[in-house]
Structure 1
Amino acid sequence: MTDHTRVNNIAVDSSVVLDGKEIKLNYFRWKSDNNLRNDSIKIFSLSPISRRVNEVNGFALGAGHFENQNIEIQVINGLNIEASPISLALISFSINVPFESLFVGINDNAISNVAFFDDKIKTYIKINGLNVSSGGFMGGAEVRGINISIFSGMNKMNGFSVGGILNTKSFSGVSISGLANLSDNGNGVQVGISNVSRRHNGIQIGLFNNSKELRGVQFGLWNTNGRRKLPFFNWQFKNK
């Protein structure tokens, strides 16, 4: 049997370029006493996903995901279902978000204080497919596909989302939220009681809509963008 040697002094983000392709040296690191590499792929996994698994192609089921200190990013291609035990805590924690954003349409200066999600949290979980959660993410996530959750704070959402609150750094697609949609950069359609986006290309539909840099239209009780504030209908296609 070949004797494998561990390489423990390779930095997590180290890489080399061979034939024009970047290869992460972290791939060659050995992480466990029985010399298992962190490049395991599974069809089914419980969550949190094992520290030795970096990709699930199929189905993940469990209580949610947490940052893995051994693998930079874990990926789920398929279906992710979470019965999160912290769903009530998420609602309590985020209950101030919709109330703050409700008044953004009235007080334009409030947009700088709205609790946009911390973009300093690096992405550690990517889901390509369908995500269903009784709670939601608290950051460090990217979803490409369909998201159904009570509360989601994530770095990136591309696709269709439905739930109570969606709070993202980057959003593209359609989001229908019972309370609020908040994003730094939005592309698509936001539907909710309150829709707040610092930069938005598309449509906002709700009681209160606000986008500092809008390229599109707003329908709601009160609509605010970089050019004007109007009831019922507003638009902006050029920045100031």
Structure 2
Amino acid sequence: MKIKLLMMIGLFTGSVISAQEKLNKLDKPRLIGFSPSKKTKNVNGMLIKYYDEIDHEIQPKKVNGVGLGFNGLGIFFPALLLVSIPSIDNWAINDIDSETLPDKMNKINGLQLSIINMEPTVTNGLEINMASNISAPSVTNGVAFSPLYNFHHTTKGAAVSTFANVAQKCRGAQIALINVCKDSRGIQIGFWNENEKRKLPLINWNFKNKKS
């Protein structure tokens, strides 16, 4: 009886140690990682994304370095959005709202470089996308640049694009033909600018905090 009990304890201990070793391997930073991949969790170097995961499938990743996105679908989305926008008011799309950001968000400390980003992402540094963050709440602490347009939940720093910057919360500057922000503390420079206080051409601003 004692021998069987010891064997059971040994097997259980061995399985726990094996599971822990597997977790440690996943947590160990990689120099080059790929996504989607359950084996990639932390990257100190470069993350290569060949496809964007949908919300409930996202395996959050932390990258200290460069995140490269090569989702081929990103080639078509920007053109479709430009064609389907009939008025300035529609830049305040439903995807940019005040809902709580999801817990499953990638974090990139460094550079995010993509055709288009469709995963919830926090970028601390520089973000360069053809058109950023379609259907994906995102936070940029630093500078976001796009030759077309930027969609963000939150920007702290500067968002620069050719056609439009749209955000729920802005702390800093928006520079584009059209700028829209629902909670702005900073300056907007463009052909048309909207924040929670006013709508103005050329330049708009709001530097006052809301009263609690």
TM-score bucket of the superposed structures, by smaller chain = 0.7 to 0.9
- Name the amino acid aligned to 1:156: V
Distance verdict in 2 for CA 1:116–1:206, change over 3 Å: farther
User: Per-residue CA shift, 1:73-104, capped at 9, x if unaligned?
Assistant: 2111101122221122321453368x36x523
Q: 2:96 aligns with which of 107, 117, 131?
A: 117
Residues 199-208 or 230-239, more deviating:
230-239
Secondary structure (helix, strand or coil) at the match of 1:51 reads coil
Distance verdict in 2 for CA 1:69–1:46, change over 3 Å: same
Identity of aligned residues (%): 24
Aligned-pair RMSD on alpha carbons?
A: 3.3
Q: 2:69–2:117: 8 Å Cα contact kept in structure 1?
A: no
How far 1:64 moved relative to its partner?
Answer: 4.1
Q: 2:123–2:140: 8 Å Cα contact kept in structure 1?
A: yes
Distance verdict in 2 for CA 1:84–1:232, change over 3 Å: closer
How far 1:61 moved relative to its partner?
Answer: 2.2
Distance verdict in 2 for CA 1:151–1:180, change over 3 Å: same
- Pick the structure with greater CA Rg: 2
How far 1:147 moved relative to its partner?
Answer: 0.6
Correspondence for 2:108: 127
**Hey, which of these two has a bigger chunk of helix by percent?**
2
The total of aligned residue pairs comes to: 191
How far 1:62 moved relative to its partner?
Answer: 3.8
TM norm structure 2: 0.74
1:168 equivalenced with 2:156 (yes/no): no
Measured in 2, the distance between the counterparts of 1:185 and 1:200 equals 6
Q: 1:116–1:182: 8 Å Cα contact kept in structure 2?
A: no
User: Per-residue CA shift, 1:93-118, capped at 9, x if unaligned?
Assistant: 53368x36x523xxxxx67x534436
Correspondence for 2:61: 74
TM norm structure 1: 0.67
Measured in 2, the distance between the counterparts of 1:194 and 1:4 equals 58
1:147 equivalenced with 2:133 (yes/no): no
Correspondence for 2:192: 208
> Which 5+ residue runs of structure 2 have no aligned equivalent?
1-9
> Which 5+ residue runs of structure 1 have no aligned equivalent?
7-28, 105-109, 214-224
Correspondence for 1:179: 163
Correspondence for 1:46: 34
Q: 2:50–2:69: 8 Å Cα contact kept in structure 1?
A: yes
Correspondence for 2:88: 103
How far 1:125 moved relative to its partner?
Answer: 1.2
